[in-house]
Amino acid sequence: NAGVTQTPKFQVLKTGQSMTLQCAQDMNHEYMSWYRQDPGMGLRLIHYSVGAGITDQGEVPNGYNVSRSTTEDFPLRLLSAAPSQTSVYFCASSITGPSGNTIYFGEGSWLTVV
């Protein structure tokens, strides 16, 4: 049981490049989400999904796209990377949502945009 798996762990991008952060979970969780973590600002919700084919915006969605074609996978796409997107990204999942259910985080992806 791998839990929540994120790749890559580290990435350096040039401004304007695009990339996809991969996230997969093997716990059959309906709810998956992406957070970014910046110093002094805690974790902020980017996008989330309550099941295959259903996604919604979080607190800071601009510049990011998501899709949920399967229960297991929830990739995060940066369309045109900007230095402001330099951050640590965490994918997380839970059975039916964070209200009363334990959220399981991936190990994080460190992204630097130069």
Partner 1 sequence: GENVEQHPSTLSVQEGDSAVIKCTYSDSASNYFPWYKQELGKRPQLIIDIRSNVGEKKDQRIAVTLNKTAKHFSLHITETQPEDSAVYFCAASRSALYAGGTSYGKLTFGQGTILTVHP
Q: By three-state DSSP, how is residue 44 classified?
A: strand
Cα gap 73→42, rounded to integer Å: 25
Q: Which of residues 27-56 bind partner 1 (CB under 8 A)?
A: 30-31, 33, 35, 40-45, 48, 50, 54
The CA-based angle 102-75-12, given to 5 degrees, is: 110
Asked whether position 106 contacts partner 1 by CB under 8 A, the answer is yes
Q: Report whether 7 contacts 22 (CB < 8 A).
A: yes
Task: Among 58, 61, 63, 75, indicate the residue that binds partner 1 (CB under 8 A).
Answer: 58
Task: Among 20, 70, 96, 112, indicate the residue that binds partner 1 (CB under 8 A).
Answer: 96
| Residues paired with residue 49 on neighbouring β-strands, in sequence order | 32, 55
Footprint on this chain of partner 1 (rule: CB under 8 A): 30-31, 33, 35, 40-45, 48, 50, 54, 58-59, 90, 96-100, 102-103, 105-108
